[in-house]
Amino acid sequence: MKKLIITGALLWLGFQALAGSLDSLKITLQYLEDPQEKMQTLYELGIQQIASVDNSIDGYLNNGLELAAKENDYVWLSRFHYLLGYRSHVFLAYHDAFVHFSTAKHLFQKTTDRQYQAKCEFFLAVYEHETGNFLAAQEGFTKVASVYLELGLLSDVAYVYEHLGYVEEDRGNTQEAIENFVLAYQYFLKDELYGLAAKQAYSVSGILVDLDEKLEAEVYLSKALDHLSRSNDSILHATRTYFFLGRLAESREQWDVANDYFQHSYTSGRMHYAGWDDNFFRTNYMAEYYLKQNQLEVATAMLSEQAEYVSEAPGENALRTLSLLAESYQTQGNLEAALTMERRVREGMVAAQTAKADAQRARQEAEVILARQSLEIEENQVAFVRNQWNWVIGLLLITMAFTGVGYYLYRLKEKHRKQAEANSLHWPEFGEKLQALEDALNVLG
């Protein structure tokens, strides 16, 4: 089952509740003069505004970015890029998110903050996975997991193993996927994150149903149900658990039981999570199930209701919803409605391709930014070395010039001295000799 990347992300980021409201932080900011205190306050404002979906967040984060750049503070510069990346990720602006995370990762390498560098690498690995670069995603997640294990951040390790499970699942490596989900399950359970532990349990059950290992799938679904009673987000995980219970009942040809579970899952999903990608996935599966059961009206109603939440740039599951709805209308003889849905499918495919092109441009833009930064660093180093050599050469030339002048004055003085002594031999009195010598020396100052 496809994941929803944003699910639980705020928990994973470890954003702590900050003392004081947004208003008090904004007032405090007006009276601050110390750059470090300003950057700290701007960062805290950014965190709270992400949580409260405040539209004025960009101004504060960009101000923080400018101040950090002015102060040449790599720590705060990297943190503001990270927060801008996370903000873009939450609001689905993946182009900007990729650029900010890439830049933040590069800047964090200049600091000792390994945890936040790993967080940037986590999101970049997510984008590698989303764009089909499974090996790069696997390498990225594995590297992040080793850092978190070394730092003792167990719940963060659990999130990484969960995503490694998704990568292996998409690669068709079912056993490796199960192993990673089970590891994530164990780590989440240690931190008493019961909802996320339930998520790993029903994810494993879905793979086991596909492998026709029904008894083991039932064991993991029982674990998921057990953890739901202690979960803060039990509605979400109950919606998904009912779906997998329906699939298990379907595999056992228990049609009435499957119908009940699917209806529970659909009703809850429609009420709380209609626009989510995995809700499109569940709706499509259940609609196909009802089509096989010759319940055409039930399937059409499900798909029609879910189609209301298809965005302008739909994902694969949303496009599948439109396509199934077109087939359903055609089966019913409603050709005009079927044609309308087919047009929406084609338009959605064009928009989806455009979104992929934007993602590729984001990657290229990030690489260009990093390349430019690297070149600037190298140019600065070369300029520094060049200036060092220029100073050395200059000092050598000045020293040689002074040495030459000194030697020339010495030779000139000796010449006049010897000339004066030679002339003094023809002067009859000693006083005149001495005066002649002094006069000759005075010529040289």
- Pick out the chain residues at pLDDT < 50: 1-20, 395, 398, 402, 405, 420-445
Cα dihedral sign, 355-359-360-366: positive
The angle at the Cα of 323, spanning 317 to 327, to the nearest 5 degrees, equals 140
Closest C-alpha among 99, 96, 92, 103 to residue 68: 103
Contacts of 264 (CB under 8 A, 6+ apart): 242
Query: Does 164 map to a domain?
Result: no
Question: What is the C-alpha separation between 248 and 209, in angstroms, rounded?
Answer: 6
CA distance between the termini of the chain: 97
Closest by CA to 161, choosing from 193, 278, 117, 178, is 178
Q: What is the pLDDT of residue 234?
A: 83
Question: What CA–CA distance (Å, rounded) separates 120 from 424?
Answer: 90
| Closest residue by Cα to residue 82 from 69, 60, 57, 65 | 65
For residue 407, tell me if it sits in a domain: yes
- 432 in a structural domain: yes
Determine, yes or no, domain membership for 417: yes
- Domain ranges, residue 399: 386-442
Describe the crossing of helices 194-210 and 154-171 by its angle, rounded to 10 degrees.
20
- Does any domain span residue 414? yes
Question: Which string of DSSP letters, residue by residue, matches 213-277?
Answer: -HHHHHHHHHHHHHHHTT-TTHHHHHHHHHHHHHHHHHHTT-HHHHHHHHHHHHHHHHHH-TTSH
pLDDT at 305: 94
Contact present, 304 and 324 (Cβ < 8 Å): no
d(CA 263, CA 266): 5
Residue 408, domain member (yes or no): yes
- 166 in a structural domain: no
The two three-digit tokens of residue 207, written as one number? 């793979």
Give the separation between CA 189 and CA 199, rounded to whole angstroms.
Answer: 11
Q: CB under 8 Å to 70, separation ≥6 — which residues?
A: 35
Domain count, the chain: 1
| Per-residue model confidence (pLDDT) at position 381 | 53
Q: What is the pLDDT of residue 70?
A: 84
> What are 374-414's pLDDT values in tens digits?
556 555 555 555 555 555 555 455 456 545 545 555 555 55
What's residue 4's pLDDT?
44
Distance CA 173, CA 137 (A): 15
CB 188 within 8 A of CB 200: yes
324-360 residue pLDDT tens:
999 998 888 888 888 888 888 888 888 777 766 776 6
Query: Does residue 89 sit within a domain?
Result: no
Confirm if 47 and 15 have CB atoms less than 8 A apart.
Answer: yes
pLDDT score at 180: 97
Query: What does the pLDDT read at residue 367?
Result: 59
Question: Which pLDDT value is given to residue 66?
Answer: 85
**How high is the pLDDT of residue 263?**
96
Q: Is 110 helix (H, G, I), strand (E, B) or coil?
A: coil
Q: What is the pLDDT of residue 11?
A: 35
